[in-house]
Amino acid sequence: MNTTATKENKTIDQVWAKRPLIISGPCSAETEEQVIETAKQLAQTGKVDVLRAGIWKPRTRPGNFEGIGTKGLPWLQQAKKQTGLLTAVEVASAKQVQDALHFDVDIVWIGARTTVNPFSVQEVADALRGVDIPVLIKNPINPDLELWTGAVERVAKAGIKNIGLIHRGFSSYGNTEFRNAPMWHLAIEMKRRNPGLMMINDPSHICGRRDTLIHVAQKAIDLDYDGLIIESHIDPDNAWSDAKQQVTPTQLNELLDMIIWRKEDINSEEYHNALDQLRNKINHLDDELMQILGQRMLVAEQIGKYKKENNITVLQTNRYNEILERAYIKGELLGLSKEFITKYFDAVHIESINHQTKVLNS
């Protein structure tokens, strides 16, 4: 393990264990002055743990700035020396891993466009074999948990102990509210499958614009994420990549001040008793709901019997529409969203059809 103490005496172990972990810095390293000045201002906030900077930029279209390349790595080294911030860069090939290691980068991350490609992930993993450096793995650009999981497995198999996940959203065709749709449920499911891996949120690449960063960052904190990676730049409007979504270190400081930081747990007995009681109530209600659903299925089976005797189809669209219309009206009065009612009744309806089909085929 790399235990080199930095200016502030923080080791990579300490930083890796810190919650919330805050990573910030420019989308791309552009000039030595830009990197060092951004780092200095970030360090001054006292809230940032790791300086990020893209050295090699995987751009969707050729002709855009593709990163300053290896010559930017000494700038990061300098920034670390002057500020005590640890450093993180994106790597996508064996050569990039070697260069990053050569210049003492503390953390590497695998970008969204690399996570989708098992050949590249394997190449990076092989280059990391025998090296004890933390690796952050961004979600693939497409909503596929298996690809994300596969990347984690390849890196873990190479012997990397400290692996973290970055949720940066998923791309889709056409303009949406987000540059990359967060699809929170996928990140939550990934976290459920990998409870030991830290989950960091990347509001910059989810939002694609600076004015909505706070909402996404707050939501991530509400969902108990372990940290944030947010792009910052001393002159965001003139950034060579991702200009619209970057903020100044001062704006980052304000944003972090605005976030309501939530704890997963506290040690108060009163709080725990109250919570236990409410959770018991929920358990009882869930039990009742299941009982009622079981009864509902028995009624559906009786209907199935009649349908069988009279040779009638199981699916009757009109009837289902009628059920939904009733539910929307009642649901609204109870404060249940139309979206929830639709999902819930779809699930109940499919289960009913399965029960009826069993009866018809018996």
Q: Which does 112 bind (CB under 5 to 8 A by kind): ligand PEP, Mn ion, none?
A: ligand PEP
Alpha carbons 293 and 301: distance in angstroms, whole number: 12
* Rounded Cα gap, residues 321 and 328, in angstroms: 10
27 binds Mn ion (CB under 5 A): yes
Q: Does 202 contact Mn ion by CB under 5 A?
A: no
- Can residue 242 be called a binding residue for Mn ion (CB under 5 A)? yes
10: helix, strand or coil = coil
Give the C-alpha separation, 76 to 87, whole Å.
7
Residues 335, 331: Cα–Cα separation, whole Å: 6
Instruction: Pick what 226 binds: Mn ion, ligand PEP, none; C-beta below 5 to 8 Å, kind-dependent.
Output: none
The distance of closest approach from Cβ of residue 205 to Mn ion in the complex, given in angstroms and rounded to an integer, is 6
d(CA 59, CA 97): 19
Residue (27 or 100) nearer to Mn ion, CB:
27
* Interacting positions 27-46 with ligand PEP (CB under 6 A): 27
From candidates 20, 67, 72, 111, binder to ligand PEP by CB under 6 A: 111
C-beta of residue 105 within 8 angstroms of C-beta of residue 90: no
Contact letters for ligand PEP, residues 166-205 (x by CB under 6 A): --x------------------------------------x
The tokens for 280 are 């018991």
Q: How far is the CB of 132 from ligand PEP (least distance, A)?
A: 23
Alpha-carbon span 296 to 356, nearest angstrom: 12
Q: Which two tokens stand for residue 33?
A: 């002055």
Q: Does 138 bind ligand PEP (CB under 6 A)?
A: yes
Question: What token pair was written down for 274?
Answer: 């109250």
Q: How far is the CB of 111 from Mn ion (least distance, A)?
A: 9
The H or E element that residue 48 is part of is: none
Which spans of this chain sit near Mn ion (rule: CB under 5 A)?
Answer: 27, 242
Using CB under 6 A as the criterion, which residues of the chain lie in contact with ligand PEP when the complex forms? 27, 54, 111-113, 138, 168, 205
